[in-house]
Structure 1
Amino acid sequence: MGRGRIGRYTERVRGELHDAFREDFTPRELSGSFAIGAFITMLPTFGIGLVAFVAIGYVFGWVSKLALFASVLVFNPAVKWGVYAASFALGTILLGPVEGVSAAGVSFSAGPDIVVRLLVGNLILAVLATILSYVVVYRFARRYQSTAVAETIDETLEEIAETTLDSDSESG
């Protein structure tokens, strides 16, 4: 990926999260929504994850659909292949190597030993990504909302000052 492409991708993720932050959700709801999305997206759901997103968004009113779906931008299909490779490597470290199989020859059709290593590693990475996602988005949301509150207070004070000054100049 070129620098320009990464920059556009980063701006897209930032834009989606910015839109989610402007919704009427608390930082915990936003970060929880993104973290749930990160967990589901990290797992090998083969498209069923999107169905889970719709169901979660429909059933739970506290879930920010924008934050939930923003996680797909971070853990997109291109990134997931790297996640799967790291998952298999982690599973192999934890459970030991599979005889006669190299990292280049990994596929679901290669056998249950490989699938188990892939899923164990993937589950661990998904949990780590979920925790990290929650913390990062929570901090961003808190910072964003405190900045938004400060800007709203400033705007309100300016309006009060203008109104007060206008009424004083009219009466004086």
Structure 2
Amino acid sequence: MGRVRGYLHRVRAAVYDSFTHEHTPRQIALSFALGTFITMLPTFGFGLIVFVVLIRLFEWINSIALFSSVAVFNPIVKWGVYAGSFALGFLLLGPVDGFGIGDTPSFSAGSEIVVRLLVGNTILAVVVTVLAYAVVYRLVVAYQRNSLPVLEETVGGMVAELETRIEESDPSAEDS
């Protein structure tokens, strides 16, 4: 449980830190949204290299906001993103002959499965990116208007909800 609390503390600190750097709300929100889009795609770790290149190329990018997206869409969360991507891809493009839930894909069906993953993943990434921009923009504007209680309540509420869900799903938490 200590690891989880430490992780949640780092997420909260990263969000607050990104608001205090000298960037406009639009730049901060765009940085987080860009990071969200890249992080949600199946980049197999190369997304972090893309982040470094983008920070070097574009002065307006808020590096803390960009990297904060990795804390939100970490490898554990990405499994859920991939599952949703597959489901959406199969819903939009239809099933693959000889492949169902729980089946091991064959090499012959591989490209059809990858196409479904990429289509579903791209659509999810675009939708979540737009939502991420809107949420972060509003949070930054609220913070910069000295509405710190709104920010603290929002981030605190999100962290409390995560802690509750983790405690509910952790059978060892009931023993302590």
Alignment TM-score, normalising by the size of structure 2: 0.77
Residues 108, 69 of structure 1: CA spacing in aligned structure 2 closer, same or farther, 3 A cutoff?
farther
* 1:61 equivalent in structure 2: 59
Matches within 5 A, 1:23-102: 23-102=21-100
Q: Secondary structure at the match of 1:14?
A: helix
Query: What 5-or-longer segments of structure 2 have no aligned partner?
Result: 149-176
CA contact (8 A) 1:87 1:121 kept: yes
1:144-159 aligned at under 5 Å gives the runs 144-147=143-146
The aligned runs of 1:92-171 (5 Å cut-off) are: 92-105=90-103, 111-147=110-146
Q: Which moved more, 1:109-118 or 1:130-139?
A: 109-118
Residue 129 of structure 1: how far off its partner (Å): 1.1
Alpha-carbon distance in 2 for matches of 1:49, 1:108: 28
Q: 1:18 to 1:102 in 2, by over 3 A?
A: same
- Do the aligned residues in 2 keep the contact of 1:31 with 1:67 (CA within 8 Å)? yes
> Corresponding residue for 1:166?
none
Of all paired residues, the percent bearing the same amino acid is 55
Alpha-carbon distance change, 6 to 55 in structure 1, aligned in 2, over 3 angstroms: same
Residue aligned with 1:103, SS: coil
- Quick one: distance in 2 between partners of 1:38 and 1:31? 10
Q: Deviations over 1:13-65 (max 9, x none)?
A: 22101001000011100000000000000000011101100000111000000
Distance in 2 separating the partners of 1:28 and 1:104: 43
CA 88–106 in structure 1, closer or farther in 2 if over 3 Å, else same: farther
User: In 2, are the aligned partners of 1:108 and 1:115 still within 8 Å (CA)?
Assistant: no
Contact 1:41–1:49 (CA<8 Å) still a contact in 2?
Answer: yes
Matched residue SS, 2:102:
helix
Gaps of 5+ in 1: 150-172
Q: Is the 8 A contact 2:99 2:105 kept in 1?
A: no
The structure carrying a bigger helix percent of its residues is 1
> Highest Rg: 1 or 2?
1
One-letter code of the match for 1:137? V
In the comparison of the two structures, how many residue pairs are matched? 147
Amino acid at match of 1:144: Y
TM-score after normalising by structure 1: 0.78
Matched letter for residue 21 of structure 1: F
Counterpart amino acid of residue 130 in structure 1: T
